[in-house]
Structure 1
Amino acid sequence: MSFSLDVLTYGEAMALFVADEPGPLAQVNRFTKRIAGADLNVAIGLARLGFKVGWMSRVGDDSFGRYVLDTLAKEGIDAGRVSVDGRYPTGFQLKSKQDDGRDPAVEYFRRGSAASHLSIDDYSPEYALAARHLHLTGVAPAISASSHELAFHLAREMREAGKSISFDPNLRPTLWPSREAMVTSLNRLATLADWVLPGLEEGTVLTGFTKPEDIAACYLDAGARGVVVKLGARGAYYRTAEYSGYAAAAPVAQVVDTVGAGDGFAVGVISALLEGRALPEAVARGNRIGALAVQVIGDSEGFPTRGELDRIERIAAPA
């Protein structure tokens, strides 16, 4: 097969309108258009680091859909399995501006979107199995029953083919019919992954445990090769069957926008693991990119290029 990818992911991209001024969204008059979507954020971050990334999705035949396609081209992401579906619109969202480091308010307009109609019909074994790694989040399987089916089909096919899989729960409770359905489905999906990357609060919701050590042990017992629990300003906890430890958070001068930090963390971990680096090094990189993400406005604008990351890691390397 002549075509190959380093990483495949899939999901929904939306136009994002970020408030130019703080305050309730209803009172904001000016917004800046950007792009959003947890899965796409990771694709963007990995592509900037030089990986060949493919992204599966559907967009509407509208200006937002064209904006998504233009962004994919600009970032160097392969869009060979992105369909333009003229029956349904591309979703969008609004995000508030916070000056105090708090999480911004976000309002979604995605019900019935083109991406919500993703299904197994969008799966191409020739395309998917040409990738060596699959990254999944808990967002795409939540947007519809057909997308949920696609997530599990992708994971099973890639696992059977011997590909590696990472999974970030990225909980979106409002997209699920119930909390129980969310917990059951995402824990099932986690059992198909090699690397599970929950936040501490997410891990507590999904496993019932409150300590990162217990959350990690739960997923290791379920079959994961490694688990990394994100601890925010406290860094991250990592564990495999052989070793475990904590990685300190990278310094942050000022928190500007918290959205995208977890996706940046995933970019760091996945990129380092695909380069054959040890898990502690991967977690340290995840912390660095997550720290970069929160210091600028936008979900992926703070993600570094390969040259920028190399400079940061040279400075951070012990003498």
Structure 2
Amino acid sequence: MKQLDVITFGEAMAMFMADQPGALHDARQFTMELAGAETNVAIGLARLGLEAGWVSKIGNDAFGRFIMERLKNEKVDIERVLTDKQHPTGFQLKSKVTEGDPEVQYFRKGSAASHLQVSDFNEEYFLSARHMHLTGIPLAISEQARTFAKHALAFMKEHGRTVSFDPNLRPSLWSSREEMVKEMNAAAFQADYVLPGIEEGEILTGFKHPRDIASFYLDKGVELVVIKLGEEGAFYKTAAMEETVPGFKVQEVVDTVGAGDGFAVGVISGLLERQSIREAVLRGNAIGSLAVQSPGDNDGYPTQLQLDNYIKNYLQGVKC
């Protein structure tokens, strides 16, 4: 069995992006792309040369086959992706915008991925990875997927693997805000690295200042908290140090979706390559800034050479 650097799991969907700007209900032509927080991360890591595996269920349909082909082309390991002949692959519609956040509508209820369950968990495959990345989405899409996620988290921690957690809040998938906060924080407290956005951090902790949000998780045993601050960059804190790492200024924001996942790619890859925390967060900021300059969720994610050159050229420009 192939040895992996990172394993992740969750729901992937076919995404129909409107070809012309405007309200989603006015769109007449769409381009099909791949969507999914965890697949974004797996693709980003694979482009940087890491071995990334993604676990899920897909339907026995055209959308499922599209997802598999796309991930195969991106060199993501899909050995443990299962086909569910009874439930469909989810999809979504996404508007095109000239600035700001696009309108997105999901068609995912009862999807194959929401039927991921503990009996689908393959211990050997998960142990082949040295790190696991978890988002809050599997915790939200169904009770079965939530149980799978909790099992995977406990298993990887028990076997000494590091875990990163990105809340990726989807309030519409939860029965209540209280349940969402409780389940998200329960998972976060078990992770080594927690990567919330500033607004997510406020919802989950009740605090507004990045330092207080980070301290909330550090006090529960988390090793590192990195809080995304949008164009301002990111704030990180450990028990021994803290710093705000400036963001990368961009000329035009095309689409913000996928920026947070790109940020996770940078931080995770940097830490696995034993960069300093600051270097890893800087890498996250760089990939996030590249992501917002392209229309697709992961179109802007770079190769290692592209990333190195981008950071080098940007920093030289700042110094000038």
* TM-score, normalising length: structure 2: 0.97
1:175 aligned partner:
173
1:94 aligned onto 2:107? no
1:261 aligned partner:
259
Q: Where does the alignment leave 5 or more consecutive residues of structure 1 unmatched? A: none
> Whole-Å Cα distance in 2 between the matches of residues 22 and 307 of structure 1?
33
> Whole-Å Cα distance in 2 between the matches of residues 168 and 58 of structure 1?
21
> Whole-Å Cα distance in 1 between the matches of residues 213 and 120 of structure 2?
34
1:161 aligned partner:
159
> Whole-Å Cα distance in 1 between the matches of residues 128 and 32 of structure 2?
34
- String of CA shifts for 1:191-231, please: whole Å, max 9, x gaps: 11000000000000000001101000001001110000101
* Secondary structure of the structure 1 residue equivalent to 2:285: helix
1:310 CA displacement: 2.2
1:241 aligned onto 2:239? yes
- String of CA shifts for 1:109-152, please: whole Å, max 9, x gaps: 00000000001111111000110000000011110001001111
> Whole-Å Cα distance in 2 between the matches of residues 313 and 239 of structure 1?
22
| % same residue | 55
1:234 CA displacement: 1.0
* Secondary structure of the structure 2 residue equivalent to 1:113: coil
1:317 CA displacement: 5.5
* Secondary structure of the structure 2 residue equivalent to 1:50: coil
2:196 aligned partner:
198
1:47 aligned onto 2:37? no
- String of CA shifts for 1:245-294, please: whole Å, max 9, x gaps: 10111121100001001000000000000000111111111000000000
1:314 aligned onto 2:312? yes
Q: Where does the alignment leave 5 or more consecutive residues of structure 2 unmatched? A: none
- String of CA shifts for 1:19-61, please: whole Å, max 9, x gaps: 1111111111011110000011000000000010111000000
> Whole-Å Cα distance in 2 between the matches of residues 47 and 3 of structure 1?
14
> Whole-Å Cα distance in 1 between the matches of residues 311 and 250 of structure 2?
16
> Whole-Å Cα distance in 2 between the matches of residues 28 and 315 of structure 1?
38
1:66 aligned partner:
65
* Secondary structure of the structure 2 residue equivalent to 1:76: coil
1:111 aligned partner:
109
Aligned partner letter, 2:293: Q
1:316 CA displacement: 4.3
> Whole-Å Cα distance in 2 between the matches of residues 285 and 316 of structure 1?
12
1:315 CA displacement: 2.6
Aligned partner letter, 2:313: I
1:137 aligned partner:
135
> Whole-Å Cα distance in 2 between the matches of residues 259 and 39 of structure 1?
13
Which residues in structure 2 correspond to 1:68-87 (within 5 Å)?
68-87=67-86
> Whole-Å Cα distance in 1 between the matches of residues 308 and 291 of structure 2?
16
1:307 CA displacement: 1.8
Aligned partner letter, 1:296: S
1:158 CA displacement: 0.5
1:313 CA displacement: 3.1
Aligned partner letter, 2:54: W
Number of residue pairs aligned between Structure 1 and Structure 2: 317
* TM-score, normalising length: structure 1: 0.98
> Whole-Å Cα distance in 1 between the matches of residues 314 and 194 of structure 2?
26
1:314 CA displacement: 3.2
> Whole-Å Cα distance in 1 between the matches of residues 148 and 42 of structure 2?
18
1:187 aligned partner:
185
1:90 CA displacement: 0.4
1:306 CA displacement: 1.5
> Whole-Å Cα distance in 1 between the matches of residues 18 and 231 of structure 2?
25
> Whole-Å Cα distance in 2 between the matches of residues 256 and 317 of structure 1?
22
RMSD of the TM alignment (CA)? 1.0
> Whole-Å Cα distance in 2 between the matches of residues 173 and 48 of structure 1?
31
Aligned partner letter, 1:194: D
1:86 CA displacement: 1.0
Aligned partner letter, 2:211: E
- Detail structure 1 runs of 4+ shifted over 3 Å in the superposition: 316-319
1:30 aligned partner:
29
